[in-house]
Amino acid sequence: MGHIWQLIERGFTGGIIIAATLAGFAGFLYLLYQIIKRMRPRKVRQEEQRILSHRFYKVSGRGRAAYLILCLEKALQFYKQDFTAWEWFLRKLWSITNNPESNWIDAWIDSIGGLLPGEVLTKNNDRTVSEEAEKAQTLYTQAGSAMIVINTILDSTYTMVCEWSPNTSAHDPDALHHIDKVEDTMKQFGIPLPSNELIRRLLSEQKNSSFGKPFDGLCFSGISKGK
């Protein structure tokens, strides 16, 4: 019996030694990681911190697109555009939030790409223009100088979605650049950003490390409020 207890005691002691060794190695790796992390250029560290602290860092792809569409609606209201005339176009934009189909990204890109300002305002007499493109052209023409902001928002939203790929993570920092660009443009022209209440809802309801599940984006939109 005493021999058995000696074996148990030795095994227990050996386990402690192994655990201590592993703990020491883990501590060494952590220390090495911290040293390498601090050796990076200051600008790199600052940019990483800016990205990690960005309020939309943990928001889904659909949620980020929804925010940019809200920014467009605020710009339209600021420039006193006919919201009713824009409603059909806004609904096409909002479809990115609730399309459950497997090819929803490509479907949205196909439906919006031909309606962008750069497409419909480029004169080409040899090209057949669709009825929707003509309607979009009318909206852009009537918007006048407001198109500086409108075009920035539409182009940023479309480019962000085009950059998505099957392995895209919503936490990827690239999309945050488009959000920052839109916000900077709006601030430059004195246009208020979407309300804090709507932003808080997006931040809390649309947390996802990827594109996110379909949701009713129109409940955030001014369309549902008759604006």
pTM: 0.76
pLDDT at residue 35, as a whole number: 52
Cβ 170 vs Cβ 212: under 8 Å: yes
Condensed to tens digits (0 to 9), the pLDDT of residues 130-184 reads 899 999 999 999 999 999 999 999 999 999 998 886 666 555 677 788 999 999 9
* Rounded Cα gap, residues 191 and 166, in angstroms: 34
Structure tokens at 25: 């190695």
Query: Residue 121 is which amino acid?
Result: L
